[in-house]
Amino acid sequence: EDQVTQSPEALRLQEGESSSLNCSYTVSGLRGLFWYRQDPGKGPEFLFTLYSAGEEKEKERLKATLTKKESFLHITAPKPEDSATYLCAVLTIYNQGGKLIFGQGTELSVKP
């Protein structure tokens, strides 16, 4: 069964304290791994797509990496505005199209 597990469930950081979020997956044929950011009361906002092991993507203080079994979202010198829930999802092929399977998310809180 395809499965995505994120850890930790919640993470509290001080401003400037770098850390990483983990997303481990078991899927029969990875077609892509996606990271989203979600602010309270809003829809998820796309951050990155990774397709193959060894691939890395960066955006401001965020960097996503991918191995054959997991992905990491590294946050360097975070700021309070980085506080949000970060969702990881893997793309599987289903019938004529693709379907994303989501992890439970990591709730990040950055204190000034």
Tell me which residue has tokens 């989203």: 36
Candidates 87, 106, 108, 110: give the one binding another protein (CB under 8 A). Answer: 87
Residue in 106, 2, 1 with CA at minimum distance from that of residue 44: 106
Identity of the residue, 69 or 94, whose beta carbon is nearer to another protein in the bound complex: 94
Helix, strand, coil share (%) of the chain residues, nearest 5 = 5, 60, 35
Q: Which of 30, 105, 106, 108 binds another protein (CB under 8 A)?
A: 105
Kind of pairing, strands 56-59 and 106-111?
A: unpaired
**Interaction of residue 99 with another protein, rule CB under 8 A:** yes
User: Contact between 98 and another protein (CB under 8 A)?
Assistant: yes
Please identify which residue in 86, 103, 106, 110 interacts with another protein, judged by CB under 8 A. Answer: 103
